[in-house]
Amino acid sequence: MTKSNAVAAIQFFRGIDEPVVPEIRLTRSRDGRTGQAFFIFDSPEALTKESLTDLKGMLLIDEEGELVTREVNARFVNGEASALEATYTWKSEVDFERFMRFAQRYAKSHGMGYTDNSAKK
C-alpha cells in the first residue's frame, strides 16, 4: 500500500491509500434524496489475514475532507478472503452532491470515466 498523495483516495487504514480501484454502483431513492454507493474491491491490498481484525471502515478522502463508512465486509471464497465490499449511504441531496464531487475527483485522479446507466433500458 502507498502513502496518500492522490487528489482523491480511498483508505481502509488512515494514511495508506488502497491502490486497487473498486467497481462502484449507485442507487438513489425515487425522490433522489437518499441513496447508496456500493464498492467492490477484488483482491485489495488491505485484505490480509493480519489486517482483517483491524479493519474498521473506509475513508473517502479528497481536498474537501473525508467521508466515512463503517459498512465494510470481507467476501470469502473457499474460506479465504477474496474481496472487500463497502457501502456508503447518504441521506440528503447535499450529501449526495458531496459524494459525487469525491467520485469525480477519484475518477479523474485514477484515469477513470463515469457512465450513467440510468437512461439505458
All residues at 6 or more sequence positions from 92 whose CB lies less than 8 Å from its CB, including other chains: 33, 34
CB 54 within 8 A of CB 94: no
Report the candidate in 2, 32, 23 with the shortest Cα–Cα distance to residue 84: 23
Query: What's this model's pTM, rounded to 2 decimal places?
Result: 0.83
Q: What is the mean pLDDT of each run of 10 residues along the chain (121 residues)?
A: 66 92 93 93 82 83 96 87 94 94 92 63 45
What is residue 3's predicted lDDT score, i.e. its pLDDT?
A: 47
Provide the pLDDT for residue 77.
Answer: 85
What pLDDT, on the 0 to 100 scale, is given for residue 48?
A: 73
CATH 2.40.30.220 correct for 2-109: yes
